[in-house]
Structures are given as C-alpha cells and as structure tokens.
Structure 1
Amino acid sequence: MSHRMKYWSRVPAFFQAQLKLTQAAKKGLGDDVLAELVVLRASQLNKCAFCIDMHVTNLREAGVEQRRIDLLPAWEEAGDLYSERERAALAFTEAVTVLTEGFVPDAVYERAAAQFDEAELAHLLAVIVAINNWNRVNVTVRQPPGAEL
C-alpha cells in the first residue's frame, strides 16, 4: 500500500485543533498509561498501523510490561493482567469504537461508570472519540508507521 497524501500538512489548522482536542481529552483522565492502553486498543480495532506503532512505543517508554502490550487484543482473556478499571475502559473503548450493536450497551456503560466518576468518564469518551478521529484519517490516507505527520 502506498501513502495517498500528506493529509495533516494540507490541513494545518485542523491538525493543530486535533492535537489540542487530544491533549484536552487526556488531561482530564489523569492516567497516562490507561489513556495509552485505550488509544492503542482503538487503533488495533481500526487497523491504524501508524497509531499502533506510536502508542506501542509510548507504552514501552512509560515502562509498561511488554506482556501487557502484547496481550491487549486478548485483554478479556488475560486474567488479572489488567485492572478492573482498565478492563472497564477497554470494554467501553471497544463498544464506542466498533458500535457493533449500533449503540453502546447499557451494561458496558454502567461498568465504565462504576469505575470512573462522571468527569473521568467524559474524558475517557473524549479520548476514544479523539483517537478514532486520528485513526480514520490515518487509515484513509495510509499514513505509514513512523512517518512524520
């Protein structure tokens, strides 16, 4: 597959707004590792090689155990490798990203709401929305892993 266009340089104001959106979303979550796990999982679901590469690197640099990174696609089967808070966030991420049933199921929302206060949950949703936006653009333009935006 070849890179289709250098999208982000063509829309610099949008790129800057997207960066600010992402920073604002993550700021209110207060847990950088959790945010990185969430954005990595969404990127895996969306098959965004550029973002997967970036967020795996970020998790490694944050000192996250490689096993937790490797098993993220199978987080539900990984036992206690992920905390209940992380599992709730990952379930919420998958529901919001895929919308398999056309909506986010009540049970998934309630599981996340039991682990996050309302402000944190709002920021978690904002992080998921922001990464999905990055993914959709990068997948569409076939942004190569490691390439400069």
Structure 2
Amino acid sequence: MSEYERSRTMPALPEVVFDQACDLKRLDSWLPRDLHVKPDDPPAVTVHEDSTGEDAQALVRAEKDQMRMEWGTRADGRYAGWLQVAGIDSGASEVTVHLSFFEGSHAPEDSVIEKALDQSLERLAEQVRLHAESAG
C-alpha cells in the first residue's frame, strides 16, 4: 500500500472551506485536472480519468459535523482518500488530503501524486478565496 498526504492553511472559516471542497458540482474545479466527477445517486459517483479514458465507480461521503469527506473506488478497492478541515487561530483553516493506493493498483509515480496534491490544494485555496471575495 502507498500513502500520500498534504496539508495547506487557508484564510477562511472551516465551514466555508468544507462547503467549497465538498460541493459535488465543483469537485472538478480543484481535483487534478484529468479527473472529472459525475454524481450518480449520491454517495455513488463516476470518476472519469482523461489520461486513461476510463470511468471508475466510486463513493463520496461528506460528514459536515466532522468536517470530513471520504471517497474510494467501489468495485475494485484500488484507492481511497479523505479530506479533513480543521479550524485554527483567527478564523483560518487547515485542510489535509490523504490518498491510499492499495496493493494491485497501478498508482502513478510518487512525484506525480505529490504534485497533484499540491496543485489541488492550491486550486481549492483559490476557489475559497474567490468565494470569500464574492460573498464579502
């Protein structure tokens, strides 16, 4: 099993960050660019990967009271992940994303995953910033 984790501080309340991160209609705006999520019958979703042209059946669950979102493939158990939002001082938040690729899965190279996590958190921070500007 391979595991990866990244965190980033964002200047917004945890509820705001969580709502932006877990909106199924907006996941594509911060996920890696080659992944596209289509809600089926939530928590069921279909994830399309441009690089392979394949669709994967997955589950996505968001627990607002815990500020946590979890996901993973349904049929083959290739990967799973979670996102956790925690409040920190002065109205800011820390967002942590964790990915697990299980034995038998063909995970991308470590550097590719690490870069995708960093870029995804950067795009989420930008989405949160834009939301705050439009609300304020």
Q: TM-score, normalised by structure 1?
A: 0.34
- More helix as a share of residues: 1
Q: Taking structure 2 as the reference length, what is the TM-score of the superposition?
A: 0.37
Structure ranking higher in strand proportion: 2
